[in-house]
Amino acid sequence: MVDHSDIIAAEDEAWERAVEREAVVRRLAEQARIPRAEFLAACRDLDIKRSRLYQLIRAYKARPLTSSLLASTVGTQPGTRRLPDEVEAVISEAIEAFYKSPQKPSINALHKEVRRRCRMQDLRTPCWATLRDRVGAMDPVELTKAREGAKAARNQYRPVPGTYRVDRAYEVVQIDHTLVDVIVVDRIHRKPLQRPWLTLAIDVASRMVAGFYLTLEPPSALSVSLAIQHVVQPKFGWLEALGIDADWPADGLPETIHVDNAKEFRSRAMTRGAEEHGISLQYRPIGAPHYGGHIERLIGTMMGAVHLLPGSTFSSIKDRGDYDSVSNSAMTLDELERWLALEITRYHAERHRMLGIPPLAAWHEAFGQRATPLRQPYDPEGFRVDFLPSELRMVRRDGIHLFGLRYWDDILSLWAGRQGRRFRVFYDPRDLSTVFVRNPGGQRYAVRFADLRHPSITLAEHRRAQALLKERGRSLEDEELIFQVIEEQRALVDAATGKTREARRFAERRDRALDGAGAYEVEDTAPEPESGRNVLKDHPGFEVEEWS
């Protein structure tokens, strides 16, 4: 039985194989009738039997996610090394000293050299195929550099920039961050806070803005996740909530997301979340800024418009001159978000200099280039959770413990107190009152504070409280004490918001985080408890034996 609950913990080799299969299986699964020639070609490409491909197609149709194609692990795994350590050492030494040389010896010559060295140490000689596999597993750039020189390695493996042509809508979406050139004010006292951060996404084919996320927090994996969610979600309801009547048709799963090499784009949650939903992640080559030209130009366009707002910091001190950005700041973050949405819809309707037509018209043309409609998330709520940070935790008899806080739901009774199994627990740093757990069948459950009297808190508040407890020499695992300290700190911050900018910043970040996390309306799929009945019996996705 394959465990679909933890895509992050899947072995890299098994996951890469599933990612390779996903593109092929998805194409076959989308067809009502699969041509025989195409089916057999897929068997050859994936190197699997026809019966196995039928199984994969059925599994993908039932659950169209990459993790449904993970293979069961039976027997010795590919790549497992079973040779004695002494023989492995001989192979490594022979490759380093003999094979990685300008003479460029062959695998046959390497095999003879290994055989000679093994005889000297009275060791059994490995077969030729083993040496071929060891060499094949090496970094080709490093190997070419050692055997043919650095120039040959650069010529063979260095990316060569060419014409960047994209025709289909959502074929490539570029994402990047920028510090907005304007100072915002808090919602209560309307006093200056700081410059916010904007995560912006663009559809390369049409130049339409695919989505954005505005926050007071520095760029992080969470801000990237929320920007991607905005890229994928339909915009109509969101625009309606802002009181904006405009057409913004960009929604669905992009084929490729193109980002730079910042650490927030390389988190395991980000990469596995993208791969789980069949999205390819491409990273900008180091030292090649032109690869992100589309998003950079969009950021420049948006910041040029922002410079007309009160409280603008402009692009430089020279441009700002004697203008007092702090004193003239007037817009809250909510007002700036609505202004950006209006500015983006205006940008969509104006003629684009490079395209010659408005991005909205270009979108409809690029959408018409697609052979199939844009894919939508198989499970929209699960899509959000897949990109959240996570931790591995045991289910204790009293529930799940995370950050010194305790979580419980009746659905956890199945695993409570049973040793040897840890579950991936996803959490939203904006609101720690609820975590998300998946069962082995891939079903998702929202698990809340065991003590429902506790208020929602942010991870930032929790860390401040623990820092204060550490200073006082108190326990960091005392849940009641943590919430007492948070309440004390909230009272102090609220009392000081009219006096200090730092207090206003923290209060604004806290309130916006808790408001924003309210978007996670996750249905509790666990059955309601009934008197005298095991709540887990006959629950879908489980085979449960009664126990006393």
The alpha-helical segments, DSSP class H, found in 317-448 are 317-320, 325-328, 333-349, 359-368, 380-386
pLDDT at 497: 61
Residue 145 φ/ψ, nearest 5 degrees: -60, -40
* pLDDT values of the chain reduced to their tens digit, one per residue, 548 residues: 445 556 777 778 888 888 888 889 998 988 888 898 999 998 988 888 888 888 899 888 888 888 888 865 444 444 556 788 888 899 999 999 999 888 888 999 999 999 999 999 998 888 998 889 888 888 888 888 888 888 777 766 665 444 467 889 999 999 999 999 999 988 777 888 889 999 999 999 999 999 999 988 888 888 898 999 999 999 999 999 999 999 999 999 999 999 988 888 888 888 888 888 889 888 887 655 555 588 889 999 999 999 888 888 887 777 777 888 888 888 888 899 999 999 999 999 999 988 889 999 999 999 999 988 999 998 888 888 888 888 888 888 888 898 888 999 988 888 887 766 788 889 988 888 899 988 767 778 899 998 888 888 888 888 888 788 877 776 566 778 888 877 877 787 777 666 667 777 777 777 777 777 664 544 444 444 343 333 333 333 333 333 32
In this prediction, residue 3 carries a pLDDT of 53
Beta 280-283 vs 256-259: how paired, if at all? parallel
CATH of domain 173-380: 3.30.420.10
- Strand-strand pairing, 173-179 and 256-259: parallel
What token pair was written down for 322?
A: 């004697």
Q: List all residues 6 or more positions away from 395 whose beta carbon is below 8 Å from its beta carbon.
A: 412, 415, 416, 417, 418, 421, 423
Q: CA–CA separation, 224 vs 272, rounded Å?
A: 14
Structure token pair of residue 486: 């948070």
**pLDDT for res 419:** 63
Strand partners, 445: 437
| Rounded CA separation 438/419 (Å) | 18
CA-to-CA dists, residue 278 to 105, 182, 375, 414, 509, angstroms: 41, 37, 10, 32, 33
Helices (H), 350-401: 359-368, 380-386
Q: Write the CA distances from 159 to 154, 288, 425, integer angstroms.
A: 9, 9, 38
Specify the pLDDT at position 415.
81
Sheet holding 197-203, edge to edge: 209-215, 197-203, 173-179, 256-259, 280-283
Q: What CA–CA distance (Å, rounded) separates 411 from 446?
A: 10
Q: Which of 251, 178, 241 is nearest to 210 (CA)?
A: 251
DSSP H stretches of helix in 283-323: 293-306, 317-320
**Domain extent listing, the chain:** 12-69, 85-157, 173-380, 388-519
Q: What b/e readout covers 513-547, taking b as 16+ CB neighbours within 10 angstroms? A: bbebbeebeeeeebeeeeeeeebbeebeeeeeeee
- How deeply is 203 buried, as exposed, middle or buried, from its count of CB atoms within 10 A (0-12, 13-18, 19+)? buried
- The separation between the first and the last C-alpha atoms of the chain, rounded to the nearest angstrom, is 26
Per-residue pLDDT, 344: 94
Per-position DSSP letters for 13-41, written without gaps between them: HHHHHHHHHHHHHHHHHT-SS--HHHHHH
List all residues 6 or more positions away from 5 whose beta carbon is below 8 Å from its beta carbon: 423, 424, 438, 439, 440, 441, 442
The whole-number pLDDT of residue 273 equals 87
pLDDT at 544: 31
How many CB atoms within 10 Å of residue 451? Answer: 13
Inter-helix orientation angle 459-472/501-516, to 10°:
130
DSSP 508-531: HHHHHHHHHGGG------SPPP-T
CATH for 85-157 is 1.10.10
Per-residue CA distances from 110 to 103, 120, 525 (Å):
12, 16, 59
In this structure, how many other beta carbons lie within 10 angstroms of the beta carbon of residue 310? 13
